[in-house]
Amino acid sequence: MKRDSRKIDKQAADTQPAGDGLSAEAAFASYAAPLVDHAIECANAVREDASPEPLHRLRVSLRRLRSLWWAFEPLLDKGGNTRQRALYKYLATAAGKTRDWDILIELIAQDESIARKMTPTLLEARGGALAASRETLSNADVKQLLQEALTSASRELNTAHERVPLQKFVDKRVAVSERSLKKRMKRASRAKRSNYTAFHDVRKAGKKLRYLLEFFEPILSGSHKRIMKRLIQIQKRFGALNDIVASEMLLRDNMGLLAGSGDTDGALQWLRQERKRRMRAAAGLLRKL
């Protein structure tokens, strides 16, 4: 994952503008094109490789695209931008369905007695999800959708009458994202431990801000190393919590499918205990930050 992010960032850096005297409208394609190319590359890999990694890379790539479109939201048609971001979310969700089974399988494997009986059924369900993901992504024609989105947004921005200085624009958008994260962290720190939604909102806001810093760090005013360090901590701790919550929900939603495949009650009990432990860990991190 980290190697993949560095690869994307390096590709983007080769084409991204320095920022001096450049407008945000003119710079958009330099940020978007490498991300679109990478997402198309990942979508092609999914068709050829059934392992978890290509689907994970595709989902991450689509999330980065969604964050970039959010960053340029003030300069784009509101309705079109909303629809485009919804499309990225839809495609990412399609890729994520198989990834969710992979995570559940990895977690269940930590208890050998449960995994021995349950894993074959989980793998069968994972195969069905993979087939559905591939069909959805194939029917969607990811390459055409993403190329059309890039062309449409670039045309809209290139024909805009007004021009906004790039550095001023990205400074403002990153500041908006930072305020959003702080607001959600404050809300989560006061929330009850049963209120997972508040913790999930922190994770999403943190991920968006991290993507923006990765996009725009070379031209942002001031240093953001400290906040980036915090974001990495948030993503790791809150991501681990999300894995458990998503796996518990997936198992509960498929009890009928998994009936007779092993000790599902034991698996749910282990996941529930692990969720509580990871919730405490996430709350502890909030107190430190």
Residue written as token pair 């994970």: 56
**0.85 exceeded by pTM:** yes
Domain count, the chain: 1
Express each pLDDT in 205-227 by its tens digit: 999 999 999 999 999 998 999 99
- Residue partners of 139: CB distance under 8 A and separation at least 6: none
- Percent of the chain past pLDDT 70, that is, above it, reads 93
CATH number at residue 284: 1.40.20.10
Instruction: Find the mean pLDDT for residues 249-269.
Output: 86
pLDDT band at 16 (very low <50, low <70, confident <90, very high): low
Domain coverage including residue 82: 2-288
Per-chain mean pLDDT for the chain: 89
Which pLDDT does position 50 carry in this prediction? 75
The residue ranges of DSSP E strands in the chain, in sequence order, are: none
Q: Does the pLDDT value for residue 116 go beyond 50?
A: yes
Q: Tell me: the pLDDT tens digits for 122-181? A: 999 999 998 888 888 888 899 999 999 999 999 999 998 889 999 999 999 999 999 999
- With tokens 């995570």, the residue in question is 103
